[in-house]
């Protein structure tokens, strides 16, 4: 099933030239989109199928929106936060601005609560001020009534001072007087209400907000005693719009809610006995409908804001009142709608000019703090840019280096650790560029050395050369790519053979070049002699040759035989090398001429380690007849010697690279070489050479081969 779904996904995405989704959430979103499209089409079906489709379509769209919102946010964050610069900015915002924002929110919340509490305090203070005014009037009226009744105990009514009644600031102002619990008739409009009775629960006096017969009042109750007669006075002002305007003076707009549910005990019954909640409640209250609640009183007016930040502040608080009939406490609600400028004027007790200066200072301080925060943010972004710019430069530089551009350099504009890092990278790329140039040069030289090695390998005999009576084998292992050692076999038909073995001073290319020169010179002299002998024989043996031709042929034969002499060839080579090379360059060279007739070996040794002739009876003959090295001094002559080889004799010619390698036990030595050849003398010559080379490798061990190794073996077989 999973493979079928995957195949369907691949086909659909391939149709739109997109890659199929890989993540699980992507695949869920894809199939939800398919389901939503199907539900949109099925919503037009009649009956229950269409109803179910229409109902499910909304839930599917919600899930689809959540998934793609999450995927989009994740992709956005991946793209945005991929750069180190954006990561550092986000980190700075979280570490620096987040506490500032939280502190600002806390400060604003505290300011709001403080402003609201202060507004409520100002309202209650205004109410208490009005009540205090009523109490003072009560006391004055009670003293007046007591005096009138003392002067005229039989008075049918008492006339209140006209100025006290006419000067009331609130419509509906009422008073009631009692003498020892009996109502005193008052000759005034304010005293016309007969329902204002003495509270049985407040015998010592009272002032506050009360609920009486479904209305709210500011009411004060005081007594005045003269002897045993007590005069009690009640002053009442209804909480109307006029009184609310007086309370809201300088505060904005005040709304008094007559019914307010403080707890479950009071739920469902207000202090006014309506049994209904007006719509302004703490638990589940709709504060927007407070001013339109039944029985609510609203006073005051909110002025136009003085500044753009002079925002409206709405604050709600409960206020304790008493039931006039029972004295039971209840709660009403006060909703204050004010502004910071109004509260500020109410709070600060200074002149208007001082308030303006103080306000300006506060605004300036806030702007100054905001500028400091902005400067800090800009500095952080600039520091962040210096860090991320270095990272970006390093990233771009690594891409350039990865593409092979080693000439790219990072611009260094500062003097800090990041700039030092960029400078180090520039130094590194410069070094890499130099190393690559050196590497290319080394590769070029290595290629040339490989060619030189190949050319030099062609100078050595390619195959083993042998005569019917003599076996030959040679081997050369250079210490470096090319060798300064030299050996060669020159075959002259079946009658003779030339053998050469030499060692050039130094190692490497210079020694190899001199070795090639020596190789070509030896061959030139030897083949020149052979050619002269051949031409002389042709001229001397011609039947019709004249005496002059025969004389010239005899001269050529003599000259060719002169070139067959190893000692004379060494003298010629010495003169040639001395005059064509630097003074410090020279070579050691062993030359020999083997004649099949008589098995004679004529040789001359020019400073080379003497070859060893290992006889069949294990005796050793050292071939050391000759002279000094070749090419060091001019005009040198070389002696030559002759030995006769017998069946089973082995000639061992070698360079100093065979006997001079050292380890903790000393040199490899001539004796050890002879012992290996002696023990393996009846084996094929290549096998004997390999035994010697293996012994040398074991002797040298892990050390580098110190010198070129050359070994030539010749064995008399008949």
Nearest to residue 580, comparing CAs of 630, 506, 525, 628? 630
How far, in Å, CA of 321 to CA of 238, rounded? 14
Q: What is the mean pLDDT of the segment spanning 567-574?
A: 89
Residue scoring higher pLDDT (251 or 693): 693
CA dist 447 and 465 (Å) reads 31
Of 208, 137, 204, 135, residue with least CA distance to 167:
137
List the helix and strand counts (H, then E) for the chain: 16, 22
pLDDT digits (tens, 9 = 90+) for 702-715: 888 888 999 999 99
What pLDDT score was predicted for residue 695? 94
Position 227 pLDDT exceeds 50: yes
Q: Residue 479 in contact with residue 471, Cβ under 8 Å?
A: no
Q: Collapse the DSSP code of 385 into the 3-class scheme (helix H, G, I; strand E, B; otherwise coil) and give the result.
A: helix
| Mean pLDDT taken over the chain | 79
Q: Where are the domains of the chain?
A: 2-80, 127-347, 460-716
Q: What is the pLDDT of residues 61-70, one digit of tens each?
A: 888 888 888 8
pLDDT, residue 479, reads 85
pLDDT of amino acid 250: 84
510-558 pLDDT, tens digit each: 788 888 888 888 877 766 656 555 555 555 556 555 555 545 545 444 4
Residues in Cβ contact with 210 at an 8 Å cutoff, skipping those fewer than 6 apart? 216, 217, 219, 321, 322, 323, 324
Q: Is residue 498 pLDDT above 80, yes or no? A: yes
Q: 234-243, 343-352, 669-678 — which one is most confidently predicted on average?
A: 669-678
Looking at mean pLDDT, say which of 103-117, 256-270, 431-445, 644-658 comes out highest: 644-658
Q: What average pLDDT does the segment 573-601 reach?
A: 90
* pLDDT for res 16: 65
Residue 261 has pLDDT above 60, yes or no: no
Confidence of residue 677 (pLDDT cuts 50, 70, 90): very high
At residue 286 the predicted structure's pLDDT band, cuts being 50, 70 and 90, is: very low
Name the strand (E) or helix (H) holding 273: none
pLDDT for res 582: 85
Q: Which of 678, 675, 681, 676 is nearest to 716 (CA)?
A: 681
Asked whether the beta carbons of 336 and 121 are under 8 A apart, the reply is no
- Would you say the pTM of this structure is higher than 0.75? no
How many percent of the chain have pLDDT more than 90? 18
The residue-averaged pLDDT of 216-236 equals 84
Task: Tell whether the model's pLDDT for residue 277 goes beyond 50.
Answer: no
CA distance 597 to 148: 184
User: What band does 294 get if pLDDT is binned at 50, 70 and 90?
Assistant: low
**Highest mean predicted confidence (pLDDT) among 236-240, 272-276, 332-336, 605-609:** 605-609
Contact (Cβ atoms closer than 8 angstroms) between residue 297 and residue 240: yes
Q: Which residue has the higher pLDDT, 436 or 78?
A: 436
Which token pair is 152? Answer: 């005229």
Higher pLDDT, 8 or 503: 503
Query: What was the pLDDT predicted at 355?
Result: 61
Q: What's the average model confidence in pLDDT over 273-278?
A: 38
Q: Which pLDDT does position 266 carry in this prediction?
A: 43
Cβ neighbors of 169 (< 8 A, separation 6 or more) are 242, 246
Q: Confidence band (pLDDT; 50, 70, 90) for 269?
A: very low
pLDDT score for 182: 83
In angstroms, the CA 599 to CA 718 distance is 9
Percent of the chain past pLDDT 70, that is, above it, reads 82
pLDDT at 440 over 90: no
Tell me what pLDDT residue 232 has.
86
Pairing verdict, β 470-477 and 229-238: unpaired
Query: Is domain 460-716 annotated with CATH 3.20.20.60?
Result: no
């Amino acid at each position: 099933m999973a493979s079928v779904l995957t195949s369907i996904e691949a086909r659909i995405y391939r149709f739109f030239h997109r890659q199929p989704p890989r993540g699980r959430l992507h695949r869920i979103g894809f199939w939800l989109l398919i389901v939503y499209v199907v539900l949109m089409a099925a919503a037009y079906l009649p009956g229950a199928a269409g109803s179910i489709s229409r109902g499910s379509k909304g839930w599917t769209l919600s899930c689809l929106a959540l998934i793609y919102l999450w995927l989009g946010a994740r992709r956005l964050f991946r793209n945005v936060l991929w750069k180190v610069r954006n990561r550092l900015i986000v980190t700075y915002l979280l570490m620096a601005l987040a506490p500032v924002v939280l502190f600002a929110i806390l400060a604003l919340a505290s300011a709001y609560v403080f402003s609201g509490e202060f507004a409520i305090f100002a309202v209650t203070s205004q109410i208490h001020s009005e009540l205090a005014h009523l109490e003072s009037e009560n006391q004055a009226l009670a003293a007046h009534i007591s005096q009138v009744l003392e002067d005229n105990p039989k008075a049918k009514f008492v006339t209140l001072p006209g100025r006290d009644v006419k000067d009331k600031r609130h419509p509906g102002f009422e008073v009631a007087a009692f003498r020892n619990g009996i109502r005193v008739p008052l000759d005034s409009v304010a005293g016309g209400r007969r329902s204002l009775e003495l509270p049985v629960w407040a015998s010592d006096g009272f002032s506050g907000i009360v609920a009486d017969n479904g209305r709210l009042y500011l009411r004060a109750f005081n007594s005045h005693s003269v002897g045993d007669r007590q005069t009690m006075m009640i002053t009442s002002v209804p909480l109307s719009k006029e009184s609310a305007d007086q309370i809201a003076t300088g505060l904005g707009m005040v709304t008094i809610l007559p019914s307010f549910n403080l707890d479950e005990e009071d739920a469902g019954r207000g202090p006014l006995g309506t049994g209904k909640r007006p719509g302004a409640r703490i638990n589940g209250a709709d504060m927007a409908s407070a001013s339109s609640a039944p029985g609510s009183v609203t006073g005051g007016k909110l002025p136009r804001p003085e500044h753009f930040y002079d925002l409206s502040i709405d604050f709600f608080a409960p206020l304790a009142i008493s039931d006039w009939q029972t004295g039971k406490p209840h709660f009403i609600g006060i909703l204050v709608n004010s502004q910071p400028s109004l509260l500020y004027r109410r709070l600060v007790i200074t002149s208007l000019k001082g308030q303006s200066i103080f306000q300006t200072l506060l605004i300036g301080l806030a702007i100054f703090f905001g500028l400091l925060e902005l400067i800090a943010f800009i500095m952080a972004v600039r520091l962040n840019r210096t860090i991320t710019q270095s990272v970006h430069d390093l990233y771009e530089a690594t891409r350039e280096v990865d593409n092979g551009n080693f000439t790219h350099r990072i611009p260094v504009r500062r003097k800090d650790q990041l700039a030092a890092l960029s400078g180090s990278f520039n130094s590194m790329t410069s070094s890499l560029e130099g190393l690559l140039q050196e590497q290319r040069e080394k590769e070029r030289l290595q290629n040339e050395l490989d060619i030189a090695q190949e050319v030099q390998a062609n100078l050595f005999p390619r195959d083993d050369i042998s005569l019917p009576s003599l076996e030959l084998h040679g081997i050369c292992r250079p210490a470096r790519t090319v060798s300064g050692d030299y050996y060669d076999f020159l075959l002259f038909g079946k009658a003779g053979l030339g053998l050469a073995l030499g060692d050039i001073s130094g190692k490497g290319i210079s020694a190899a070049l001199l070795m090639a020169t020596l190789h070509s010179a030896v061959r030139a002299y030897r083949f020149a002699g052979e050619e002269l002998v051949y031409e002389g024989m042709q001229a001397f043996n011609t039947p019709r040759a004249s005496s002059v031709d025969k004389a010239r042929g005899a001269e050529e034969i003599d000259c060719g035989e002169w070139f067959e002499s190893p000692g004379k060839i060494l003298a010629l080579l010495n003169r040639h090398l001395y005059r064509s090379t630097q003074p410090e360059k020279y070579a050691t060279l062993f030359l020999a001429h083997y004649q099949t007739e008589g098995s004679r070996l004529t040789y001359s040794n020019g400073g080379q380690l003497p070859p060893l002739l290992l006889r069949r009876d294990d005796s050793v003959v050292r071939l050391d007849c000759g002279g000094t090295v070749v090419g060091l001094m001019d005009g040198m002559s070389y002696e030559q010697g002759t030995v006769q080889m017998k069946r089973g004799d082995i000639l061992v010619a070698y360079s100093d690279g065979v006997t001079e390698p050292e380890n903790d036990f000393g040199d490899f030595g001539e004796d050890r070489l002879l012992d290996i050849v002696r023990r393996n003398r009846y084996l094929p010559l290549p096998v004997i050479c390999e035994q010697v080379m293996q012994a040398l490798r074991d002797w040298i061990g892990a050390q580098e081969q110190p010198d070129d190794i050359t070994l030539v073996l010749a064995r008399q077989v008949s």
